[in-house]
Structure 1
Amino acid sequence: MKATTILLAMLSISFSALAQSPTPPELPAEMQPQLQPPLQPPVQAEPQTPTQPESQFREPAGSLAIHAQPQSQNGFTYVCGGVGLDESTSMKRMAKKYDLMSTFSTRNGSYLADINVNISSGDGKATLQTTCDGPILLVKFPHAGTYRIRAAVGDDTQTKTAQIPGLRSMQSMVFVWRAS
């Protein structure tokens, strides 16, 4: 009992000392705690409807953006682009969903754009004619077979042949011109 009385007396003295102590000095402004504004919920973007065919080839949110969009002509589905690191990386990733990836460059390694491309089937019926505005062209062919790919920079034309199997297996074709 004596120990309990002593303990209560000590606590009483401690509390009275705290109650009588002066308030702590004001801290300088740079040392005062900064209050953060309350967090706001994230703003939800409006859902967008796809405007191009084959919208499933768009990159998922949060990944590299691609500006080139798939287009169709005479049964061919194709994408031209690859300008800039983000877009070229994204197109190379998409290439596995296509039959052919063509790259256009000069011998010194510079990429080319504005390439006139003509793809025709062996029977001459299926054709794709476009001007590729970037160094990479991805193509899905309408059916298996042999195709002739012509690529022209100005008056300098190159022709190559591609054998497209019935299965989706991506081929790579590189067109290289002398630097001008």
Structure 2
Amino acid sequence: MHRNILLVLSGVLITHLALAAELPANLPAPTTRGAVTFVSGGIGLDESTAMKAAEKDYPLTLEFVVKTASTSGYTSDVKVLLADHNGKTLLDTVSNGPFLLVKLPPGNYRLEASKDGQTKLRQVDVRAGSHQKILIEWGT
């Protein structure tokens, strides 16, 4: 009986290690809420490199930037709402970095991204087997 338990635990450990090996190093842990899985981050070179490498596994990438007259740079702490065509909110989160990678079913979505009291609206069409990247900029 103990041998069977050890075999099961070994199988679980091997599966866990194989899944972990598939994730790029320095990638923040994904979060799943309902039908949506997302990962947010990109602070620092290692993490932003990992986020960019993981983009291929997510149908939607959101990138957040603030531009001024003299500078341009990534930003975080962006409030993001994604709603389906019926208005049902599927994702309500605040970005932990300048990138938000999102896995969600194919369909049409309404995106709201808010930073410092300014809200940007976009229509997003997610298609099976495709990837799109949306750059959202705030400026002065």
Give your verdict on TM over 0.5: yes
The residue correspondences of 1:136-175 to structure 2 (distance < 5 A) are: 136-141=99-104, 143-165=105-127, 167-175=128-136
Q: Going by fraction, where is strand more abundant, 1 or 2?
A: 2
Rounded to whole Å, the distance in 2 between the matches of 1:113 and 1:49 is 33
Q: Is the 8 A contact 1:57 1:94 kept in 2?
A: no
Runs of 4+ residues deviating >3 angstroms: 47-50, 54-57
Which of residues 78, 83, 87 in structure 2 aligns to 1:124? Answer: 87
The separation in 1 between residues aligned to 2:111 and 2:90, in whole angstroms, is 10
Q: Whose RCO is larger (CA < 8 A, sep 6+)? A: 2
1:26-62 per-position Cα deviation (integer Å, ceiling 9, x unaligned): xxxxxxxxxxxxxxxxxxxxx7995xxx756522xxx
- Residue 77 in structure 1 maps to residue 37 in structure 2: yes
Q: What is the match of residue 177 of structure 1?
A: 138
Instruction: Provide structure 1 residue ranges, at least 5 long, that are not aligned to the other structure.
Output: 1-46, 60-64
SS of the residue 1:83 aligns to: coil
Structure 2 runs not aligned, ≥5 long: 1-12
Question: Aligned pair count?
Answer: 123
CA contact (8 A) 2:27 2:50 kept: no
Q: 1:55 to 1:152 in 2, by over 3 A?
A: farther
Q: Is 2:65 the partner of 1:100?
A: no
Once the two structures are TM-superposed, the CA of residue 78 in structure 1 deviates from its matched residue by 0.3
Q: Is the 8 A contact 1:116 1:129 kept in 2?
A: yes
Measure the CA separation in 2 of the matches of 1:88 and 1:55.
18
Q: Give, as a single letter, the amino acid of the residue that structure 2 aligns with 1:169.
A: S
Distance in 2, matches of 1:150 and 1:135, equals: 15
- Secondary structure of the residue aligned to 1:110 is strand
Secondary structure of 1:68's counterpart equals coil
1:91 match: secondary structure: helix
- Post-superposition shift, 1:168? 2.4
Q: Distance in 1 between matches of 2:65 and 2:123?
A: 18
Task: Tell whether the 8 Å contact from 2:40 to 2:96 is kept in structure 1 after alignment.
Answer: yes
Give identity over the alignment, percent: 33
What is the distance in 2 between the residues matched to 1:95 and 1:118? 19
Tell me the residue number matched to 1:87: 47
Output the TM-score relative to the length of structure 1. 0.63
Root mean square deviation, CA, Å: 2.0
